[in-house]
Amino acid sequence: TGSEKQGATAYYVSTPIYYVNDAPHLGHAYTTVAGDVLTRWHRQRGEKVWYLTGTDEHGQKIMRTAEANDVTPQAWCDKLVEEAWKPLWEHLNIANDDFIRTTEKRHTDRVQEFVQDLYDKGEIYKGGYEGPYCVGCEEYKLPGDLIDGEGEFAGQKLCPIHKKPVELLKEENYFFKLSEYGPKLLEFYAANPDFIQPESARNEVVNFVEQGLQDLSISRSTFDWGVPVPWDPKHVIYVWVDALLNYATAVGYGANQEKFDGTFPANVHLIGKDILRFHSVIWPAMLMAQGLPLPGKVVANGWLMVGGEKMSKSNLTGIKPQDLTSHFGVDAYRWYFLRAISYGSDGSFSWEDFSARYTSELANDYGNLASRVAAMVGKYFGGSLPEATAAGDAERAVQEGLAKAVATADAKIGEELDFQGGILAIFDFVKQVNGYITEQEPWKVAKDTTPEGQARLATILYTAAESLRGVAVLLNAVMPETSQKLWESLGAEDSLGALADQKVQDAGAWGTLPAGATVTKGAVLFPRLEEKPA
């Protein structure tokens, strides 16, 4: 095992598969948009990519929700997936390559085989367990993890994440010998210091494993909404074991060896910090037990908070992404959370902050630059991009600025998953170009009708348009619709071809946009915001 993929070709990124107990909120969209930006970035590098998302449909939480709504769990899941989850990802322009549902046969058959295999290898045994269980987490809790209830929950022990009472569960279950994997896991973390990110998450996991692991209960017999244990079908497989396996079954585990070898393991598992232990302890141990390769990285994002608490479906604090996209637009939505919150840290959503950043950074800095440049090429050169024949130090500084933005954004977004840092590098360049135009004052230079004056004017406008060409490529992963509009307004679609074929690593190649390109004033990239809805 090792975190470098051997002979595999696709850059494989996953999101958590979300519970379909309710419709998605901003928190789910946060992780999914981050994965979409990451994978679009790698596609724009010309790499083969596999971006996977899906839904987690088994377990007590889903079963109880369906019962409360008087439908079968399967009918409940079908409805939520088709009417809420898939449409949202389409709405947010998520370019996932597959969508896995854990109730699909391509998944359940392989889950049974995987677990049977572990049983045959002696990795699973029958035993008893009694302990506090949180249905919200679908997890047995350690007594030390619980918090004391207050008010309506006075005298009860609560789950620290859901702030709801835990239930005492006693079962005869099958257990996976997780405790035996502690030393191997610690060795793996030491050999692969980047495996768990950010650093705080890594430290938390290492501390947890150093304290010694307990064996993991991997079956349930008190309810039946799950994948039956093949050798003892009175039990269903624990929902988390079932769920984690989606990362293997979706890419052909046990069914399509060629696809599996070309994709598995994931380069990056994107998760929220609430499900860190499952992904960095249980999942690697399951893979070790089967002799399968381990993922490259597990990267945890922080929580989007509402009123100081994690935004959540169970606590009814979820805000629908559509409530924001209808006001700010899809592209601004995709941009905002990655721009405003350092990936890995918690962050609060505020309408005021979003509005302020939209107006100053998107509409004023970026949108106005694009429309001013197109307008001036129209006014002074009849919409035909002029040649830059009089470039000097000021132009060279802009060229260097673009090259620097490309290098920084590529390292930060493509490698470090520092989306905020990458976006800031691109917007610093946008500011630089605005500064350049303010200093050069093309509207004044235009009044100088000598050949030298006209050559200066041409050079300034070419420099600005060529800069925007680079910006369109760099922001395509984050705001694809806006980049496409800008690309077309620069006449780049006709002269250079599809934006998707522009490699990010060539975005800084100065002089790519040809003189003579037809520049048109396209639609306003970021329209003025309406009043905040009541």
Q: Footprint of ligand ME8 on this chain (CB under 6 A)? A: 16-19, 27-28, 30-31, 56, 243-244, 246, 271-272, 274-275, 301, 303-304, 310-312
Backbone φ and ψ of 281, nearest 5°: -120, -60
Judge whether 155 and 164 are in contact, CB under 8 Å.
no
Q: Which two tokens stand for residue 89?
A: 């990802």
| Residue (of 129, 427, 119, 139) closest to 290 by Cα position | 119
In the chain, DSSP finds a helix count (H) and a strand count (E) of 22, 17
- For 167, 325, 430, the CA distances from 405, given in Å and listed in that order, are 53, 28, 10
Minimum Å distance from CB 31 to ligand ME8? 4
Q: Is 134 annotated as belonging to a binding site?
A: yes
Q: 25 or 43: whose CB is closer to ligand ME8?
A: 25
Q: 130 or 309: whose CB is closer to ligand ME8?
A: 309
Q: 313 or 456: whose CB is closer to ligand ME8?
A: 313
Distance (Å, rounded) from C-alpha 223 to C-alpha 275?
23
Minimum Å distance from CB 13 to ligand ME8? 13
Q: What is the DSSP string of 30-42?
A: HHHHHHHHHHHHH
> Active-site residues: which are they?
25, 28, 134, 137, 159, 162, 310, 313
Judge whether 343 and 301 are in contact, CB under 8 Å.
yes
Q: Is 137 annotated as belonging to a binding site?
A: yes
Minimum Å distance from CB 296 to ligand ME8? 16
Q: Is 77 annotated as belonging to a binding site?
A: no
Q: 272 or 491: whose CB is closer to ligand ME8?
A: 272
Q: 85 or 328: whose CB is closer to ligand ME8?
A: 85
Minimum Å distance from CB 1 to ligand ME8? 20
The amino acid that residue 359 corresponds to is: T
- For 35, 122, 523, the CA distances from 52, given in Å and listed in that order, are 9, 31, 33
- Spell 423-435 as b/e; 16+ CB within 10 A means b: bbbbbebbebbbe
Distance (Å, rounded) from C-alpha 141 to C-alpha 256?
37
Distance (Å, rounded) from C-alpha 368 to C-alpha 361?
10
Minimum Å distance from CB 20 to ligand ME8? 8
Torsion of CA 41, 46, 48, 54, to 10 degrees: 20
Cβ-proximal residue to ligand ME8, closest one = 27
Q: 47 or 97: whose CB is closer to ligand ME8?
A: 97
Secondary structure of residue 296 in the 3-state scheme: coil
Minimum Å distance from CB 315 to ligand ME8? 10
Minimum Å distance from CB 247 to ligand ME8? 7
| Secondary structure of 40-63 in HEC code, one letter for each residue | HHHHHCCCCEEEEEEEECCCHHHH
Distance, C-alpha 58 to centroid of its chain: 23
Q: 243 or 370: whose CB is closer to ligand ME8?
A: 243
Distance (Å, rounded) from C-alpha 475 to C-alpha 532?
27
The amino acid that residue 168 corresponds to is: L
Secondary structure of residue 236 in the 3-state scheme: strand
Q: Is 42 annotated as belonging to a binding site?
A: no
Which residues does the annotation place in the binding site for Zn(2+)? 134, 137, 159, 162
Which residues carry a binding-site annotation? Answer: 134, 137, 159, 162
